[in-house]
Structure 1
Amino acid sequence: MNFSPTERIALFIDGANLYATAKSLPFDIDYKRLLLFFRSKGQLVRALYYTALVEDQEYSSIRPLIDWLDYNGYTMVTKPTKEFVDATGRRKIKGNMDIELAVDAMELSDHLDHVVLFSGDGDFRSLVEALQHKGRRVSVVSTLTTTPPMVADELRRQADQFIDLADLEKEIGRNPAERGQRRRPEPEPLDEFESEDLIETGRMPATHG
């Protein structure tokens, strides 16, 4: 893994995509350990987490994660979801944060040396290329261990460095003794490559340290 202690680093986390990726792996992410890990790699300027929220629900399953991250070193970027009915009559919610993430990354890039993007979404290839044209190094964090891989091939090829989330289990995985029984039955993860963050109502769960 190629990092320099003098590099100014920022993490840009596509929340929905990271959740889908993490669900495919045999461990839970400890977000406190994740932050400490990247702080040890350089000068961590900021860690931004992007997710859409369903505002009309009395309880959102992602709210505990949002609140925890907000108080533990992460900058939360959220917006309300948009509801619609698809061609089959199913009520769905769209919560795409790609534009917000891309705009923030370009604006902050003048103060950074190294951008770490937590997403496998191929739509970010152009963002990675634009950051590289500004002289920034870009690492993409996702996984190739699933079938099919969670990272789009064009995004992985464009990145200066690809980091497989599966290889970070010892550094950022939650201690099994702390989490008790591993996971409750949960919905299937989002299909980032086909749906552009289309999710059914109430399908935004959370895991945190």
Structure 2
Amino acid sequence: MFYKDERLALFIDGSNLYATAKALGFDIDYKLLRQEFMRRGKLLRAFYYTALVESEEYSPIRPLVDWLHYNGFAMVTKPAKEYTDSQGRRKVKGNMDIELAVDAMELAPRMDHMVLFSGDGDFKPLVESLQRQGVRVSVVSTIRSQPPMIADDLRRQADNFIDLDDLKEVIGRPPREPQGQATREVPASGSGE
């Protein structure tokens, strides 16, 4: 699936990867994740996309964002949008699909292999476009959760599908018990459809 001389880039949809790992019952060790893909090829860049809730005094995702930023990940963040739904419940939404797609298209001429950590079917046209430009695309998600976290059409479009569950022994750690507040990612508008 991977060639040692390939220039590869990781594109991590933070909320989608968080939900996928949670569905499989483990946490991601991002240091091990980065090391694993450095071993598989020439890692150009590891992008991590997440929306941040600006109004909260303490954002549970902030320590992760800071750690990733200082440890070799290119962080792409934006403020999450807060709204009240029709039942009067406070909701938070932060979709980073466009930012991820733009970065992937800009890097396409300089990468041989994209590794997309997301099961969101909205990325199918991006995968098709990158493939037309000669970029191989691997998608990391899971079919082993109920329901599966990857859209079937995205899985079929990818050159390679890597089930996150198969990486568990290499990049995983047992989930930590939350201290005070549960760590959560800001949900994107779609998890896998």
User: TM-score higher than 0.5 here?
Assistant: yes
Partner of 2:45: 46
SS at match of 1:40: helix
Q: In 1, distance between residues paired with 2:182 and 2:15?
A: 14
The alignment's TM-score, normalised by the length of structure 1, stands at 0.85
Report the Cα offset of residue 28 of structure 1.
1.9
Partner of 1:68: 67
Deviations 1:32-71 (A, max 9, x none): 0000000000000000000001112111000000000001
Could you tell me which runs of 5 or more consecutive residues in structure 2 were left unpaired when the two chains were aligned. Answer: none
Equivalences for 1:1-209 in 2 at 5 Å? 2-174=1-173, 182-184=176-178, 186=182, 195-196=189-190
The answer to whether the Cα contact below 8 Å between 1:117 and 1:140 also exists between their aligned partners in 2 is yes
The answer to whether the Cα contact below 8 Å between 1:21 and 1:150 also exists between their aligned partners in 2 is yes
Q: In 1, distance between residues paired with 2:67 and 2:153?
A: 33
The alignment's TM-score, normalised by the length of structure 2, stands at 0.92
Q: In 1, distance between residues paired with 2:108 and 2:151?
A: 23
Report the Cα offset of residue 191 of structure 1.
7.3
The answer to whether the Cα contact below 8 Å between 1:115 and 1:139 also exists between their aligned partners in 2 is yes
The answer to whether the Cα contact below 8 Å between 2:138 and 2:162 also exists between their aligned partners in 1 is yes
SS at match of 1:117: strand
Q: Structure 1 residues 144, 188: CA separation in 2 closer, same or farther (over 3 Å shift)?
A: farther
Which runs of 4 or more aligned residues in structure 1 lie more than 2 Å from their structure 2 counterparts after TM superposition? 182-192
Could you tell me which runs of 5 or more consecutive residues in structure 1 were left unpaired when the two chains were aligned. Answer: 198-209
Partner of 1:206: none
Report the Cα offset of residue 93 of structure 1.
1.6
Identity %, equivalent residues: 65
